[in-house]
A and B are shown apart, each in its own frame.
Chain A
Amino acid sequence: MSEAVEHSEKHRGAFSSRKVFILAAIGSAVGLGNIWRFPYVAYENGGGAFILPYLIALLTAGLPFLLLDYGLGHRYRGSAPLSFRRAARASEGLGWWQVGICFVIAVYYAAVIAWAARYAFFSFDKAWGDDPEGFLFGSYLQAGDPGISLDFVSGVTVPLVLVWVTVLALMALGVQKGIGVASTIFIPILFAAFIALVVVALTLDGASAGLDALFTPDWSALGETSVWIAAYGQIFFSLSVGFGIMITYASYVGRRSDMTGSGLVVGFANSGFELLAGIGVFAALGFMATASGVGVDEVATDGLGLAFIAFPAIINEAPAGALIGVLFFGSLVVAGVTSLVSVIEVVISAVRDKFEMSRVGASMAVGVPAALISITLLGTTTGVYVLDIIDHFINRFGILVVAVASMLALVWVFRKTSLLREHLNRDGSVQVGRWWELLIGVFAPAALTFILVNEFIDNIQEPYEGYPTWMLATLGWGLAAAVLVLGFVAARLPWRESTFLGDPEIQARQDERSS
Chain B
Amino acid sequence: MSTSAVVMMLIAMLVLWGGLGVAIWNINRYQGEEPESVHRDL
Residues of A within 8 A of B (CB): 9-18, 22, 47-49, 51, 55, 173-177, 208, 211-212, 214-217, 254-258, 261-262, 264-265, 267-269, 271-272, 274-275, 279, 358-359, 427, 429-430
Looking across the interface, which residue of chain A has its beta carbon closest to that of B6?
A215
Contacts of A272 in B (CB 8 A): 16-17, 19-20
Contact B8 A47 (CB under 8 A): yes
A-B contact count (CB 8 A): 127
Contact A359 B42 (CB under 8 A): yes
Could you list 10 A-B pairs, sorted by A, with CB under 8 Å? A15-B35, A173-B41, A174-B41, A257-B33, A261-B23, A261-B30, A264-B27, A265-B24, A268-B23, A274-B16
Cα distance A359–B42 in the bound complex, in angstroms: 6
Chain A at the B interface: SS class: helix
Looking across the interface, which residue of chain B has its beta carbon closest to that of A14?
B39
Contacts of A216 in B (CB 8 A): 2, 4-5, 8
Contact A359 B12 (CB under 8 A): no
Looking across the interface, which residue of chain A has its beta carbon closest to that of B27?
A261
Contact B8 A275 (CB under 8 A): no
- Name B42's contact: one of A256, A265, A268, A358 (CB within 8 Å): A358
Beyond A16-B35, A212-B2, A272-B20, is A261–B26 a contact (Cβ under 8 Å)?
yes
Mask: chain B, 1-41; 1 = CB below 8 Å from A; 0 = not = 11011111101110111011001101101101111001111
Cα distance A359–B32 in the bound complex, in angstroms: 29
Contacts of B39 in A (CB 8 A): 9-14, 175-176
Contacts of A429 in B (CB 8 A): 26-27, 29-30, 32
Contact A265 B27 (CB under 8 A): yes
Looking across the interface, which residue of chain A has its beta carbon closest to that of B39?
A14
Cα distance A214–B9 in the bound complex, in angstroms: 9
Contact B27 A51 (CB under 8 A): no
Looking across the interface, which residue of chain B has its beta carbon closest to that of A265?
B23
Taking the closest CB of chain A, its distance from the CB of B14, in whole angstroms, is 10
Contact B32 A48 (CB under 8 A): no
Taking the closest CB of chain A, its distance from the CB of B13, in whole angstroms, is 7
Contacts of B15 in A (CB 8 A): 51, 55
For the complex of A and B, list the 8 residue pairs with the smallest distance between their C-beta atoms, beginning with the closest: A48-B8, A13-B41, A174-B41, A256-B33, A429-B30, A268-B20, A264-B23, A215-B5
Taking the closest CB of chain A, its distance from the CB of B40, in whole angstroms, is 6
Cα distance A18–B23 in the bound complex, in angstroms: 14
Contacts of B13 in A (CB 8 A): 275
Looking across the interface, which residue of chain A has its beta carbon closest to that of B33?
A256
Taking the closest CB of chain B, its distance from the CB of A360, in whole angstroms, is 9
Looking across the interface, which residue of chain B has its beta carbon closest to that of A9?
B39
- Name A51's contact: one of B11, B32, B35 (CB within 8 Å): B11
Contact A212 B5 (CB under 8 A): yes
Contact B1 A254 (CB under 8 A): no
Contact A268 B38 (CB under 8 A): no
Contact A254 B35 (CB under 8 A): yes
Contact A258 B11 (CB under 8 A): no
